[in-house]
Structure 1
Amino acid sequence: MSLASTPLIGAGLVALYTLTISAADGITKLIAGGYAAPQLFALSAALVLLLTLGANRLGGQGAVAAGGLRTTCPRAMALRAALTVLACIGFFQAFRLLPFADVFLFIGLMPVIAATLSGPTLGEPLRPSALLGLALGVLGIWCLMPAGLSAAQAGHAWALMAAVTGTGSMLCARYIGRYERNALAQVFYPNLAIFAVMALALPFVWRPMPLADLAWVAGYALCLFAARWLVTVALRLLPAYVATPLMNLQFVWMVVIGYAAFGEVPGAGTITGVTLVIASGLWLVMDDWLPRRAQAQQRA
């Protein structure tokens, strides 16, 4: 992989991530109403663990499973696992207590959090030329959600905690990716932590599931496994403040699915917001790609 092409490949992986995670979110909305969060998370995490072990066995020492499930960064991996669990709990509580629009506003602020933390934690300070891209992304989120936040309440605290811990988990993934290429390990250990925590509550909330719902959970786990593997590889190739705005492409998938599946015609504010989100992601990718291409040309 050439230095110049790295940002473009990373951007493509993030785009695939947004598609798979949007599919997982859709399945969650379909079946989560009848079950408690620990049941859904414990079952899906167990299935993701089985998929990870299977991929590791099938991959051997190939590119997919380079390094197997070993990690050379146990402390950073433990921190990533803990932050992932906190983010899952935070987002579930936020979606339970708040309208989707309010929660998505906090998701849209994750690039700003990543930009703020990337310098002191990873030594990747934000370039001045990237500020405009971030500003476009934040403006696009507010256009998509013009109603803004309602009166502050507990759900907003959960959403803020989830956004901070979720961004922290991504920064850990970026850090670990500097030292090892075994992306499956970064899928395995956070899901092991989710399973361990949620299994503690499982006996108190378990409800029998018909085969159809089990099939949906299996589909959710498959989408989640693909999404987490894709984002781990992407964060090895892209700075976190570039990857997180691209993740706002989830809003684009929401608009497309809403129109195709439910006949929801987007308004002018939605179209403007989607355009700004796309422009923000492209700006940041180009801001990261052009200097790399210049370096590659100088070396050539």
Structure 2
Amino acid sequence: MSDEAAAPEGNPVAAPDDPPLVVEGLTKDYGSVLANDDVSFTVHRGEIFGFLGPNGAGKSTTIRLLLGLLKPTAGTARVLGADIRDEAALTAVKGRIGYLPAHLGFDEEATGKAVLDYHGAIKGEGRRDELLEIFTPPVERPIREYSTGNKRMLGLVQAFMHDPELVVMDEPTSGLDPLKQEGFNEFIRRERDRGTTIFFSSHVLSEVRRVCDRVGILRGGSLVELEGVEALLHRSGKHVRVHADDAAVAALTALDGVVDAEPFSEGAQFIYAGDPNALLDELARHDIRDVEIGEPPIEDVFVHYYGSEEPGRRGPETAVDPGDDGA
């Protein structure tokens, strides 16, 4: 990674051991919608932090606040040592930040090459050729001819080509085909190993386990969970699918820790978050034709955090977060 740029006198810069992103009581109140409600968390150097939530949860609002595109109603955050309420300080560190918005505002008449030339002239492009080999957008063609996936790949190149130390991305894999998504996952794992800090929002829960070190879960503008991915998976139990008679199914699904039991013609499946020894003991008491025990789909792990109610929202449940662009 490139050396840290010196900040103008009077503008704070994070010390090498300081967290690159510290959020403290961040609040954005639009009146009808409380898009961020006293949100606090820290992102450590060299980690991949997933910022998760359903559409309209307030993820994009948080990102815009962190980048100084919106002003907070209350609270603050420090990005590479710069307080987001201090415009001069934040401007001084932006050359060390990469940003991929959810909705890319590229000039439709410009070619991909022209877009990268423009961004490169502003912030540098030392890794441009390397990144074009990984993400392969058709840079000689005008943006109007690009698919959604090609636009996303061009955006990824511009976000990383100046070798930033912190990269903030909003729904980074939206529109990418499965192969490119996996290529992206491998790429950001390598970036983390180089020391780059990655912060990205997503509502695609299956991405989380593949790449994130920790996650923050946002629901209705409030942070409802902040934990390591493996700890969340462990705490959320196992997925059990058992083939057995009705008596065995009834006994098993009556165990403490069983949730979301669903019968099928030859047995039942459920999530089990209780004592594993109690489950094994109960299985041993019955004639079990077949049993599968594994980790639950990650959608099941997080769904109870989303729930049906949106704390922080005012008015109809269908109200859209003004800061979220539908991302």
TM-score by length of 2: 0.24
Larger helix proportion, structure 1 or 2?
A: 1
Structure with larger RCO (C-alpha < 8 A, sep 6+): 1
Higher CA-based Rg:
2
TM-score by length of 1: 0.25
